[in-house]
Structure 1
């Protein structure tokens, strides 16, 4: 039995998630900060800010609200 290289596994998983998220998109009203951070141009800090703002306004009605 061989152990799986955890670093390689994590790298491959991250790449797969990035491809899927940027191809399919995410639901701004349900996505976690972790998932939002995989969207191109959104890092962990911005993802957390988006979730905080979403919570304060009760959810997004449109993507244009992200500009606020």
Structure 2
């Protein structure tokens, strides 16, 4: 029994089935970021989160300076 159903993955199927120990088959994502639009979306979301974290730290530091002067 193959680990991944090659017929499903050869035709670009999103989910392949793989055996897991004695518990039966388990769904395994073939490649979640295989489409270019998904990859671009992942990078955009990562950049947005990093911008939010860095921006929050800068604003927090600026507010601390303002609070110290008051």
Higher strand share: 2
Higher helix share: 1
Greater CA radius of gyration, 1 or 2?
2
- Which structure has the higher relative contact order (CA within 8 Å, separation 6+)? 1
Q: Given the two structures, how large is their TM-score scaled by the length of structure 2?
A: 0.29
Q: Given the two structures, how large is their TM-score scaled by the length of structure 1?
A: 0.29
